[in-house]
Amino acid sequence: PIISDQWLPQSELTILAFCLTFITLHSFTHRERGESATALLTLLSFATNVLAKYPYETDAVVTQGWRFLDLKIPTFASYIIGNGIEFCINFRILFYILIPFLLVCIASRRNWSGTYKCLIPHCVTLSWLQIAIINSQGATTFGLMRGTLALVGIVMFLPLVGLTTIILPSIALTKWVVTSVSLYSILLFLLFASSGLGISWLLARTRFRQQIAYLQVITAIVTFFILINSFSANNSSLNVHTHSSTANGITWDQYEEFCDQPNWETSTAAANQIRCAKLADVPVEWEGWVHEIKVRSITNVWRKIFGYIPKSLSQYLYCIFGESVEHDCKNLPEDVTEECLMFYDAIRTTRKCSLDNLNVYEFHIVLRRNMVLWTKTAEVVLEVGHHFSNFTLQLKPDDRIKFTGFLTNDGIIGGSKPHVLVESMRCIHCHKTELTNTEIRSVNLLTLESVLSNFNLGLKFIINFLFMPINLFE
């Protein structure tokens, strides 16, 4: 349920489940010398399940041409039971009544030893059949052809799996060292792959051959997941986000009446801060005018790591992971351009490359609640994360923005400037017209509401898997 239906490879799953259905049916059918009753019961149960669970209503060939198999004509009316549970009584229910009887007959063979010899393996076959039927309703013609070709390709190239355990780590290592695709990255990949093949060939001639094979498989699986995560992280954007609710928060008027500076006349600022500390993590949705924007912190994990490496090697790594130091003096006035160039020349004497492209920034945006020139107005400090960098750097003083977030404490609530951990920002009126009505949100995929919602969807899917089409939980 966490994955959207559009992203499910239903055609490929149909082909895979279809093949596994008949493979398990042939492999798990219990046969004994001089006794074929159990095998006949297994085949009869399988045929009954096919007749009961086949989606006749979605098959145009059956509904239009095979009228003698039209089993969807209801003999009784369908009833709505409870909240969203539909109970359908039709001709198919006769087959569903017959299925438990056949399963009991299979289990009762040879003094009930057929339970673990025949029944449990047969249930595996029926599970694959159910998966094939469910996924077939969303399969397409080209998808089925694609799935068939993929299955044939996997079977044909199965002996090359050992080579994959070397290629995948080589790709992951190349991507970790070089982020762009170039001739240098291709040569580096060939170097890693040939080194891996040579090391594997040498280790295969030792007595640790079996342990090395296990290590290769584990390394390939780990690097596969690393590559998948890196590709998904690169393809994600700030516009794909989840909305987290800021309902049931407090307005600025409520905060001002309870915690702002007018309350200091009746009590001290410390007592006011202690009283207002209860508002920590309370959601807010306020707006204001930008007064000041400043960088709160700059962190760079890679710079800290390379700081422990000798300078001669770290400078080389700086150029691999970072960017060359280039001047940014084109948009400056002419009388300042020469000093700007001298500034960058001084930087180049220290290092030719920098890791500024890997910096993680945090900002403080000071907002004024009102645009009053002659009086001091209330101010709010927004704590903004790195994912808001592009939006924040394009803001100008006196831009009007609306934001949602949560009040943060550390003795700040109830003081002169409340701090808000920003979750989303929207420009109401900005100097740059392209920012107007633009909204940026932080990415927060794992919340209690999303976990409960996905658990509810998963539970409904399992129940429908077991009881469709008699009981339908919507």
Q: What is the pLDDT along the chain (474 residues), one digit of tens a residue?
A: 455 556 677 788 888 888 888 888 888 775 655 555 667 888 888 888 888 877 666 666 655 655 555 555 555 555 555 555 555 556 677 778 888 888 888 888 778 887 888 888 888 888 888 888 888 877 777 878 877 887 777 776 666 666 666 666 766 666 665 555 556 666 766 777 777 777 777 776 777 667 776 776 677 677 666 656 555 444 443 343 333 444 457 788 777 777 766 555 666 667 777 777 777 778 888 888 888 888 888 888 888 888 888 877 887 888 887 888 777 777 677 777 777 777 777 777 777 788 888 888 888 888 887 765 555 677 888 888 888 888 888 888 888 888 888 888 765 666 667 888 888 888 888 888 777 666 666 555 455 666 677 777 777 777 776 666 555 666
User: Distance (Å, rounded) from C-alpha 197 to C-alpha 176?
Assistant: 20
| Spatial contact of 61 and 438, defined as CB atoms under 8 Å apart | no
Handedness of CA 138, 144, 147, 151 (dihedral sign): positive
Fold for the domain defined by 247-297+360-441: OB fold (Dihydrolipoamide Acetyltransferase, E2P) (2.40.50)
3-state SS assignment for residue 410: coil
* Cis status of the peptide bond prior to 469, with omega within 30 of 0: yes
Non-local CB neighbours of 195 within 8 Å, separated by 6+ positions = none
User: Distance (Å, rounded) from C-alpha 330 to C-alpha 31?
Assistant: 84
What's the pTM? 0.43
User: Distance (Å, rounded) from C-alpha 134 to C-alpha 148?
Assistant: 18
| Spatial contact of 285 and 404, defined as CB atoms under 8 Å apart | yes
In this structure, what are the phi and psi dihedrals at residue 182, rounded to the nearest 5 degrees? -155, 180
Nearest by Cα to 418 from 219, 280, 267: 280
